[in-house]
Structure formats: C-alpha cells, structure tokens
Amino acid sequence: MKLFKRIFTMLLVIIGVVGLSACKPEEDDIDEITELNALGEWVDGGDSVYTLNTNTEDELDFTYAKGTFTYGFMMKDLSTEDLSTFKKLIVTVEGTGTMMLKLETSDGTAKEISLNVTGITGSYEWNLINDGDFLADVEKIIIFAAPGKTDSTGDIKITELMFSVNVAANYIVQTGFDNIPQNVNEYDGTGDTFDFNAKWENFAEDTYVVTYEDDETHVTFDKTAGYEWSTLTSSVQGDFSEFNYIVLKVSGTDGQKMIAKPNEYNAYENFIFLTEDIQELVLDISEMPLADKNAITKIFVFGAAGAVATGEFVIHEAFFAKDYEYEAPVYDHNVYETGDTFDIQYWYDGGDLNYTITTSGTDTIFEYTKTGEWTYALAYIDGDLSGFDYIEIVVTGVADKTALFKLEGTAGAIEEAVTFDGTEQTIKVDLSSMTSEQLSVITKMLIFAAQGSNIGSGTFTVHSVTFMQDGLSVNDLWAENDAGTYAVTMTDGVANVDYTKGVGQEWVFLKADFSTIDVTGYNTLTLTFDGVSGKTILVKPNDDGALEEVITFGDDPVTITVVAEAFTNIIIFAEANVADVTGSFQIIEAVLTTEIYVSDDLTRVVDFTVGAFAENDPGTYTFTTVDDTTVVDYTKGVGQEWVFGKIEFEAADAAGLNTMTIVIDGTEGKQILLKPNDDGALEQVVTFGTEPITVVVNAEQFSKLIFFVEQGVADVSGSFTILSATLSYTHTSTAWVDNGDVVYTIVVADGVTTVDYDKGVGQEWSFMRLDFEAADINGLNTLTMVLDGTEGKQVLIKPNDNGTYEQWVTFGTEPVTVTIPLTDLSFIILFAEGGTASVSGTFEIISTTVSYVAPVVDLGDVVDFTTGAFVEFDAGTYAFTITEDTTVVDYTKGAGQEWSYGKIEFNAEEVAGLNTMTITIDGTEGKQVLLKPNDNGALETWVTFGAEPVTVVITADQFANLIFFAEPGTANVTGTFTILSATLTYVATN
C-alpha cells in the first residue's frame, strides 16, 4: 500500500522526472520508482530554531540560531514511503554552518552523517546499499544544525536531497561520516571584525607548542628535517562574504619568515620577516570570489617557513576585517599584449631576502646568498603567451656555478638548468612540450641560483629573457620592379622604405620573392607596418587578389596575418594607383610561420574524396572522377620507385579536425603507402584484398596526404579507387573510473584500457563509469567502442544510464565494435557480466570515441507508422486494431495500472536522419493521452481530446521509440482513441 501511494503521488506531481528505465537494464518497468525527492514539506521541531526561507521540492533554504537548544531540529515525515529499494541518498548543499542528517525508524533506531557546509557547493552520496531492511522501517528524516552546540548561527541551502536506486558513484560517504570541525572559532554574522585568535592547533605534525596569555597566543617550535613546512592552524566558520582582509599582528624571532594564508588558497597568502617589534601580516581577500570566502575554514600560519629551525612568535591579534588601512607592496608585472617577441624586464626577490637585484642599462644583475635550497628570484607575468614557441635567455655567470630557470603557471610548468662557463651564453627553452592552454595561463618566471643547495653565494647577469616565435623572416628580400621608385634600408631588422612615383608609375611595386629560399610548410604570414597617418599601402601576398589588403596608417603600427596553403611572394604598392607622390613607411616585421588552427565546430567534415589530387612527377599518376569516387591510374618507370600522389589541405579548412578516414580498393595483393602530413610516425602500408579497406589516422592537425603506390617498385602500372576520404573531429577518452565499490581495477597503457573485475554477492550491478565534458563532444552524435575479452563473457554498455541506448556485447575470437547513435551523451556506465554476482574476469576497452556522422537523409523519405507494430507494456491493458489504415486503441486499466502504456519501437537504420514526428489522433472529448517520444520527458506532449482530431508535431535529432499513456495516472478506466496518422519525416531546420 505504501508503494502504491508513493507511485501515485510522485508520478502525478512530477510526471516525466522519473524515467522508464529500471535499475536492472533488461527490465523496462515504469512502475518501479527509481528516485524519491526528500525536499519540500519540512517543519521546525518546535524550538523555533529554524527560519525556513524556501521549503519547496527544488530547494530547502534555512537559517538557524541555536540559542540554548543543543539539538534543536527540523524534520520531514517519511512514514508513508517505502525506502527499502534505495541504495543511496544524494545530498547537495552549500552555505555557512554545519548539520547532522539523520534517518530514524519508529523504534528510534537511527543512522546519520554530519557535514561541514561551506560556500563551495558540496555533493555527497550516502551509501545505503546494504541498509534495505533499515530503510524499510524509516519514518522520518531529521536535520540538526550545529549538532551539540548552542549559540550557533548559520545559513544553509540544500538543492538536492534525493533517494536513488542507483549505487553511490561519486563523493561516497558511509554512515557515521563526520567532517565537522570541533575546535572552531564561529563568526556570529555581526560586527565589522571577527576575532579568531584562539583555538590554535597543529595541523599535522606536533611541531608547535601553544599557550595563551591574556588575549595573546604565544607559540614556540622546533622544526627538524622533514618538518620544514609544518603549520599551525586556527579553524573558522561563518559567512565571511563581507570581509576583505585577514590581519595578524605578530612579533617573534628576528629574521625568521612567517607565511599565512586562508585554506589552501596560495593566491592570497602573504609573508613577513619577524622582528621583536609588532608587525602586521595582512591577507588581502577583497578580490576573492564570495563562494571562496564562505568556504574558508582554516587560517594557516607557518613559522620559519620552509626552514629547519627553532624559534618563537606571538600572535597579538588575529581578525577578519571589512575595511582596513593597508598599503600592499606594488610589483611591476611584465605584461604581454601583442607582438612576435616579449621581453621580461622586472625582477624581484622571491620573499626570502636571498637576492639583491639591480639593473645596469638593459642588464639585470643578481647577487645572492642562499638560506634555503630552493629560494628564488621571480618575475610576474600577465598575458596569453600561447603564440610563442621558445624563450631565448642570454646570461653570464661564474664558471661552474648553476641556475635553474622555470616558467610557471596555473596549469603547468617548464624548466631549464644551466651551468655557467664564465662567458655570455644563450639558452633556448623549447616551449613545445606545453599546450596552448598551459601557456595562456602563465603567471611567473623563477630563477633558482645554485638550485638544490642551501649554502653559497654568487652573482650572475641576465642580459635578456625574450619569448620568441619560430618562423622565417623575409624582411630582407625586398626589391623594386621599376628602378628609382623604392629605396629600402635595413636598421635592426626593420625595413625603412622611401618611395617616389612619377606619372605612369601608379602601379609600380616592392616585392619579396621567395623563389631562392625554402618556404615549405609555412602557412601563415605576419606583417607589421608603420607609416604616415592617412597614407595607404596595398599588400598582395602571392600576387593573389583574394589575399590582398589595403592598409591605412594611423597613430599605431598595423599588423596583418594572412593564412594560405603556401607562399611564393609578397607585393606591396605604396599609394596604389596614385602618381606624382613621395613618402615613406616601415616594414617592422615580415615573418612566415607554421601554425595549427582550431575550430569550435566539432561537426565539420571535409570530404576530399574527389579533391585536388596531384602528382609529383609528371606522367606517373592520373586522377579521374567516377560516380563520386576518384580512380587513380599509375605508371612508374625506372627511377620512379618513390614518386607519389598528394593532396594538400587549406589550413583554415582543416582547422580542428583530428581524424582522417580513407576507404580505398585496389588489386588484391598490391600495396599502397599512405603518409599523412608526410610524417613517418603516421604512415600506414595497406595491402589490398578482396574487400575495400578503411584506414583511420589521428593527428593534432592535417596539412596534406601523400601516397606511394607499390612503393619502392619500378616498371609497374595499375589502378586503385578512393571510395571515400574525409577529415573530421573525434573525441577519444580513457578516463574510466570504478563506481566506488572497488569492483573494477582499471589500467591504461598505450591508449588501451585493461579492466580486471571481481564481483561479490550483492554486486551484480556494480559498474564502471566514463564522464564527458559537454564542450569536448558538443554536436557529436555517434559513440563507437572497440572491446575485446574472454570468449562467451559479456559486458553491458549503457550510455546516460538510459535503456534506450544500452547494448550487450558478447565476446568472441575477435575484438567487437559497438556503434551507438545518440546526440545527448554525458556519461557511459559499463557492467561486466551484468546481473551476475561472484564472478571475476578481465577485458580490454581498445578505444572509446565520440564522433559526428552525417545522417543519411532522403528529403522525401517518410516512415509511416500509423498501423505499425504497437505493443502493450502490461498484458490486457491495450488492444490495437487496424481499421481502414488507422489504428484503433482500446484500453482497460485496473488498480495499479495507472501508468501502463503502449509502445512502438523504430528501426534505427530506417529512421536515420528523420527529425520530425507528426501524429493525428482522435478520442473522447475531455479524455487525455500523454505522448512520450524516446521515453524523454523533454519531448512529452499532453493531448486533451476535443470535438476535432488533434495533430501533434514533435522534433528531435532522432527517434528511437514512442510510448503513450491513455488517461495517465488514472486507474479503473476504459476507453478508446484512434491513431489517424503517424509519420516520421525530415524537415530542414534552417
């Protein structure tokens, strides 16, 4: 009876939220409740401790003021619910405060977890998988804010409190979990300051001895080797959103460095060197996001930071402040905005007073005396450095002494050590091992003198540190085509151009011809000009009108970037089409580079099946288009063993496409060598057989494909056919994880994921999981997995935990490829031997990819399912009769059959690409039918019958099924309605 009430109430109120897929994938039982929302209808326990600001099924937001009530509570009645089938309780919470969450039965038996709530949203999954008997008797759920405390206040928001039949899979907590700190300074939410100079304790090692005198904290310490970074901490709790400063007034052992920071937020730490006088150590948190402020739970203090030392210090005051007069030190940052080079100029001691830094002209002189192994000097950097390829460091140091240069950011670092030889040295630091994303968030450069040693002193001079781009300068190739019009002089790499044009010289030009230099592989030309404001020049790369650009000079230099498959020359016309003029301008930069271009459109497909193929030796290859394929005939004589055919791709066309797929067919036994990007690491030898062969190659970017037929062999002729050839984007992932019950051991090597599993009793449906970031697969519509395992064993693949997409894989003697079309992929769960316990085994996931496959759509195709293969879910509820090209549906639903339904499944190949469902139905006026395509609540449509037939049009990327409920949520009813017309078609969306 309890189950019946729950089904009726929940489905009537939140219809569509509960999916039709059962926990066990082979079942499809919509009467099995998979979730129960415990939000809404909460009440105060009677002590008026709680103020409920929001109390809905979407959110529980409350404040509390405990007063004298140690265990004042609020609760929700669950006595009408049967919780026995649930395996976890999901709790998503944020705010400031603490809470105990308790499940309690009628006889007082209880289970609980206790949570520290901060401004950063936390989501916990309480593991209840073995608590079915206890859950069957649970009658209420209770919240105790600040359990066991009085005079405590807080503000908590719970946005998810959901029982689920799924196994805990994310941040799993067990019964009894408690992360509430006990020794805490609590802010009561009032006042412009908050004093926390109390309850100090060792964070980990027992290094610090703390005593209190009046309102001061006195600390002594003895840090031995291995404890250099031991720390003292004070726990805090409260709403700190309005505070902007954390202030410690301290004194201590002269010369020792003290560091303080909130939580692990290194960006907000600060330090001073102690003296016997009281100094202020101020942490400026004014720019800290509000959520991070409210997530502050600890203040860390490091005495004699990073050193083996004994000492003492006094914390005279420690407080948060909304306003505080504080003059922070000002550091000049090295700011990159634009340009092909970037120089580092401003250097500072790293905070240990080991470096004295002076400048002499453009040189920076570093004098150092080491007190620690890794003390450093640093330069602060702002700007996106992803366009640079290497750093050129010019330095002079004392012979045999060393230094380590390190570039560091929020996402990675790179370093280069140098041993000085007493002369000026130039060091090149290659940045290719860092990604563009890592280089875009660089924040500093560090220099460690005598790295790894805490003794010694010395000096060295940095003449320059310059970020640079790889490339070929062509700024010294300029020549005029009409003598006496242009004069070019070079100064420090800059071309200074003076021009005088008479009558008839309107179109004379300056030209840089690349015929005498090797420009192979360069696809980007960058030009920077400066000239007299208002004057113009016409720039025409490759003498190609499609690439030309008119530049009008202003107050600042002008930079243009041109992308082309290849470059042969640059032509410049000063004041084009104007005669009797004189003037001057500067070509500051003219450089060719090779760039990788990216695209945000992951669904783009470049089809080069009948592309612009060419041969490198005339008379060897011919290319003929036949029925949308390319037939390649070849004849190779002596000395032509390695002649090849090729196709080159425009950089902009191939941008962001990382997968080349080629389908070719040829004479059995003959061979072809495919070499994408002319890169030996990507090449593949194909031996033709009786069937066409598909070759898939992955690379960061593609610039060309060259191929050798019967490579290395002369005096041969023949032909082969390129049936299909495309460039596309594929997302590959190996980030599989166990769901939390330690059933699966996952190891990735060379891109292959090897999985060992060992399932015990009750673990029939334990699974592993792979999550996807939406940005990585946006628009992609096809999941492909290749797996291999023990013959006869099975795995179940279930994308989105949705039965519509699930597929069983039975292993054989060869790897199995599974292809699943879907457009809304967010995660995959995989069950080894799903439904079976006490088994172990191993299998391999050779690849997991997501790609875009263009739908094969006949714009005139119509799938008519008016009289299709409709079936009922619950025997005896629905009857389907075909009458004059319509389907008459009679239904009889008894008690417990409120949500019985009819259904039709579609053949995926038959409906591929069809995006519009159109249904016309007629029934008894006032009665209702719920239509639910794809078992998807977002697509469901309610139909209320009237005097005329009703037509419903529903669009989706694809259709897998249609289910319908006659008089949904109602039992003991009979009736009939007629499906007059039902079709799937394709309708263009733009």
* Three-state helix/strand/coil letters over 789-825: ECCCCEEEEEECCCCCCCEEEECCCCCEEEEEECCCC
Amino acid letter at 103?
Answer: L
Residue 226 phi, psi (nearest 5): 95, -10
3 state SS of 756? strand
Whole-angstrom distance, CA of residue 412 vs CA of residue 630: 46
Cα-to-chain-centroid distance, residue 602? 15
DSSP 672: E
Using alpha carbons, select from 882, 921, 929 the residue that is nearest to residue 902.
929
Q: Which residues of the chain have pLDDT under 70?
A: 1-31, 595-600, 855-860, 909, 989-990
The percentage of the chain sitting over the pLDDT mark of 90, rounded to a whole number, equals 63
Using alpha carbons, select from 339, 340, 394 the residue that is nearest to residue 363.
394
Q: What does 286-332 look like in DSSP terms, one character per residue?
A: TTS-HHHHTT--EEEEETTTTS-EEEEEEEEEEEEESS---------
Whole-angstrom distance, CA of residue 623 vs CA of residue 877: 64
Per residue in 910-935, is it b (16+ CB within 10 Å) or e — as a string? ebbbbbebbbbbbbeeebbbbbbbbb
- Answer left, alpha or beta for residue 204, where phi above 0 means left and psi between -120 and 50 means alpha: alpha
Residue 318 burial (10 A CB sphere; 0-12, 13-18, 19+): buried
Whole-angstrom distance, CA of residue 799 vs CA of residue 827: 6
* Three-state helix/strand/coil letters over 430-482: ECCCCCHHHHCCEEEEEEEECCCCCCCEEEEEEEEEEEECCCEECCCCEEECC
Q: Give me the residues paired with residue 139 across strands.
A: none
DSSP 570: E
Predicted confidence (pLDDT) per residue in 518-565, tens digit: 888 788 899 999 999 999 999 999 998 778 889 999 999 999 988 887
Instruction: Report pLDDT for 18.
Output: 34
DSSP 875: T
Residue 453 phi, psi (nearest 5): -120, 140
Q: Answer yes or no: are the C-beta atoms of 381 and 413 closer than 8 Å.
A: no
**E strand or H helix at 12, and its extent?**
helix 2-13
DSSP 267: G
Cα-to-chain-centroid distance, residue 401? 43
Whole-angstrom distance, CA of residue 460 vs CA of residue 97: 53
State both tokens at 147.
Answer: 């359990």
Instruction: State the Rg of the chain over Cα.
Output: 36
Instruction: Report pLDDT for 216.
Output: 95
Is the C-alpha dihedral spanning 260, 262, 263, 264 positive or negative? negative
Q: Answer yes or no: are the C-beta atoms of 792 and 769 closer than 8 Å.
A: no
Instruction: Report pLDDT for 922.
Output: 95
3 state SS of 727? strand
State both tokens at 835.
Answer: 């439904």
Using alpha carbons, select from 316, 311, 314, 317 the residue that is nearest to residue 254.
311
State both tokens at 354.
Answer: 């080991």
State both tokens at 728.
Answer: 């596309």
Instruction: Report pLDDT for 544.
Output: 84
Q: Answer yes or no: are the C-beta atoms of 314 and 305 closer than 8 Å.
A: no
CB-facing half-sphere around the CA of 747: CA atoms within 13 A: 7
**E strand or H helix at 653, and its extent?**
helix 651-654
Whole-angstrom distance, CA of residue 376 vs CA of residue 395: 16
Helices (H), 158-206: none
**E strand or H helix at 584, and its extent?**
strand 581-593
Using DSSP, how many helices (H) and how many strands (E) does the chain show? 6, 79
Tell the residue number behind the tokens 């425009």, with chain if given: 650
Using alpha carbons, select from 846, 842, 793, 790 the residue that is nearest to residue 818.
846
Helices (H), 157-241: none
Whole-angstrom distance, CA of residue 771 vs CA of residue 737: 9
Predicted confidence (pLDDT) per residue in 938-974, tens digit: 788 999 999 999 999 999 878 889 999 999 988 899 9
Find the distance separating the first CA and the last CA of the chain, reported in whole Å: 52
Predicted confidence (pLDDT) per residue in 372-412, tens digit: 888 999 999 999 998 888 999 999 999 999 999 999 998 88
Residue 680: CB partners within 8 Å, gap ≥ 6? none
Q: Answer yes or no: are the C-beta atoms of 90 and 164 closer than 8 Å.
A: yes
Q: How far is CA 475 from CA 253, 333, 491, 521, 899, in A?
A: 61, 31, 11, 18, 77
How does the average pLDDT of the chain come out, rounded? Answer: 89
